[in-house]
Amino acid sequence: MDKLPDGVMEPRWIAGAPTLKQVTDDIARPMEGKPGKLWYALFAVAVLCLIDLLVMATWLIANGIGVWGLNNSVGWAFDITNFVFWIGIGHAGTLISAILLLFRQKWRTSINRSAEAMTIFAVMCAGLFPLLHMGRPWDAFFIFPYAPNQHGPLWVNFRSPLVWDVFAISTYFTISLVFWFLGLIPDLATLRDRATTKIKKWVLGVFSFGWNGSHRTWARYEVVSLVLAGLATPLVLSVHSIVSMDFATSLVPGWHTTIFPPYFVAGAIYSGFGMVLTLLILTRQSMNLQRYITIKHLDAMAKVLLLTGSIVSYAYATEFFAAWYGGNLYEKYHFINRATGPYAFGFYLMVLCNVLAPQLFWWKRIRTSVGALFVVSILVNIGMWFERFIIIVVGLHRSFLPSSWGMFYPTLIDFGILIGSFGLFFTLFLLFIRFMPMIAIWEVKGVVTDQAGHAGDAGASHAG
Amino acid sequence: MRAKVLVATYPQVDDLLRAVRQARRETFRVYDVFAPFPVHGLDDAMGIRHTRLPKITLIAGLTGLACALLLQFYTNVLDWPLNVGGKPDNTTLAFIPISFELTVLFGGLATVAAFFLRTKLYPGKQAWLVTPGVTDDVFALVLRKPSDEESERRARALLTEHGAASVTESEADL
């Protein structure tokens, strides 16, 4: 372990000094008992929204995507907005599990598991939208280069960022899933060894791969985790860069800029951390895990939000500056239209939520108030959804020729599917915190043991 | 092959580490250590060599890279060149994103597969627990049982000296 300078204490990320057995008991308790009323209430709402998704998606597929508010001017709207929104949400999970692992940030251990689960569910929600936008989802396999090809052109167009997306998202989903599952194995073994019913023992036995805590396995396990983290880090940066290229490689004013990849990545991390914060606050309140998901964790996440929110704000400013300084008529008009046109309300909502709201986190009182954090985290989610909506719809609705200008008005189906995607996401997430270890038991045990060791060291040095 | 082993359980991780170091100093053979989390410093204490798994990552990653480039080159240049916006058939720069993704995909999956193969973990495998609780809060040091009685006595004494809660005899696969 790296030594800290004298007098600097490693913060205690877990409240109190629980024994290893207590850690297991505390984290396994929600899975073994009955969840509280809050959980049931949230789950009921989530399932209702999921049913809404099924109905809306069926309606959409039966009638074609004309039921959305799309038209010739605005051929992309809610669908792609939702896609980019959900993909962005996913990024915080990988950031917490991979990038913070590489930086040896110990506070990740209480939150990485649920953040990774969030990534997987968010990518599933994201994948839904291109699928639905195809109108004929049963032909979705067309997007993969497959042989023998019996439909349309012989191969997919590898020069298209949409095809890059196919590879990026499916790789991202696969690697995230594997990383998450790998992390779960030791915890599943822990649960297997304390399972009381036969069925539980059997299911956990199958998925825990015969794990027995051998250190020869642990040693390799840690290396594999590091390798996967090393792979996932550039992967996550590439995924949102490629998503941004869906726009940046086009010629549409407001889209055709080189700032998009870093701007989108920062936005993705920002929105993802917003969602992690929302979820963790719900989790710790509904599952009584305040000891493990402490105010310090929430404080650390608020700081990340402040940083990424500021980067995003800087990117907004840069876009406006470049539009003015670049002297391109269409680009300039796009940004005037963004701030004064028919969708200006969305722009100001975005500024309020993404530029102003995170600045509240300069104050420690706000960073450590659960209520304030929850409100701001919701604002972040709203703001980031509107950011994508503004970029996409404002870009399309008044492009080069005034004769092709138009407006996009969302229909009930547009809203229904957006709400439905939240239903899918929250149903999966609530099932996850109910039936799986939502905190990495083995990683927390490592932190608790280090913490105890530190307390001992500190005591010794004071005595000396 | 089965071999006789001595299983010492420790409630404290520091005691375990000291016991492992002392056992190796006295040239007892450490069969394995079982712990609920990866204990820092055990790699050195047990004298575990660096794993070769990252090499698998490199090889598989390069394979993924080669496959991606070949796929894109073959489809776009050899098999069915399509004129897209007047761009040349072999637009290598446009091939880079997919090549990167497949490098990561191959590298990641192969590393995890190699890990499972090397550590002989597979779905549904019956877990062999050296002593109950090693996945909860017990640390177990497992030594190969020395053949002569004198060393066995010394080994047991050593294990107990360092705070073992219990020392039992068991059998383990080699």
Q: Considering only alpha carbons, which residue of chain B is nearest residue A241?
A: B97
Q: What confidence score (pLDDT) does residue A221 get?
A: 93
Domain contains A171: no
Helix ranges (H only) for B74-162 are 92-118, 149-161
Q: What confidence score (pLDDT) does residue A150 get?
A: 63
- Domain encompassing residue A370: 53-142+240-444
Domain contains A284: yes
Q: What confidence score (pLDDT) does residue A147 get?
A: 63
Contact (Cβ atoms closer than 8 angstroms) between residue B31 and residue B2:
no
Q: What confidence score (pLDDT) does residue B158 get?
A: 82
Domain contains A317: yes
Taking 70 as the threshold, does the pLDDT of residue A151 lie above it?
no
Which residues 423-452 of A have a C-beta within 8 angstroms of B?
442-443, 445-446, 449-450
Domain contains A389: yes
Residue B25: pLDDT band by 50, 70, 90 thresholds? confident
Are B98 and A158 an interchain contact pair (Cβ–Cβ within 8 Å)?
A: yes
A164, A166, A171, A203: best mutation site toward chain B, by most B Cβ within 10 Å? A171
Q: What confidence score (pLDDT) does residue B7 get?
A: 87
Specify the DSSP element, H or E, that contains A285: helix A260-287
Strands (DSSP E) contained in A374-431 are none
Give the domains, in start order, of chain B with CATH numbers.
Answer: 2-36+133-173 (3.30.70.120), 53-118 (no CATH)
Query: By CB neighbour count within 10 A (0-12 exposed, 13-18 middle, 19+ buried), where does A55 fall?
Result: middle
Query: By CB neighbour count within 10 A (0-12 exposed, 13-18 middle, 19+ buried), where does A419 fall?
Result: middle
Q: What confidence score (pLDDT) does residue A457 get?
A: 41
Domain contains A174: no
pLDDT digit string (tens) for B81-133?
888 888 888 888 889 999 999 999 999 999 999 999 998 888 888 888 888 88
Angle of helix A78-94 relative to helix A260-287, nearest 10 degrees, comes to 70
ipTM: 0.91
pLDDT digit string (tens) for A68-95?
988 888 888 899 999 999 999 988 888 8
Domain contains A154: no
Q: What confidence score (pLDDT) does residue A8 get?
A: 57
Using omega within 30 degrees of 0 as the cis cutoff, is the peptide bond preceding A261 cis? Answer: no
Instruction: Give this prediction's pTM.
Output: 0.90
Q: What confidence score (pLDDT) does residue A376 get?
A: 93
Q: What confidence score (pLDDT) does residue A311 get?
A: 92
Q: What confidence score (pLDDT) does residue B67 get?
A: 94
Q: Which residues of B touch A186 (CB under 8 A)?
A: 36-37, 135
Contact (Cβ atoms closer than 8 angstroms) between residue A263 and residue A254:
no
Q: What is the mean pLDDT of chain B?
A: 87
- List the B166-173 sheet strands across, edge first: B30-34, B139-144, B2-10, B166-173
Taking 50 as the threshold, does the pLDDT of residue A463 lie above it?
no
Q: What confidence score (pLDDT) does residue A9 get?
A: 58
Residue A460: pLDDT band by 50, 70, 90 thresholds? very low
Q: Which of A22-36, A347-361, B44-58 has the highest mean pLDDT?
A: A347-361
Domain contains A373: yes
Are B38 and A219 an interchain contact pair (Cβ–Cβ within 8 Å)?
A: yes
Taking 60 as the threshold, does the pLDDT of residue B53 lie above it?
yes
Domain contains A149: no
Residue A5: pLDDT band by 50, 70, 90 thresholds? low
Among left, alpha and beta (phi > 0; psi -120 to 50; other), residue A50 is: alpha
Q: What confidence score (pLDDT) does residue A419 get?
A: 94
Task: Report how many domains make up chain A.
Answer: 1
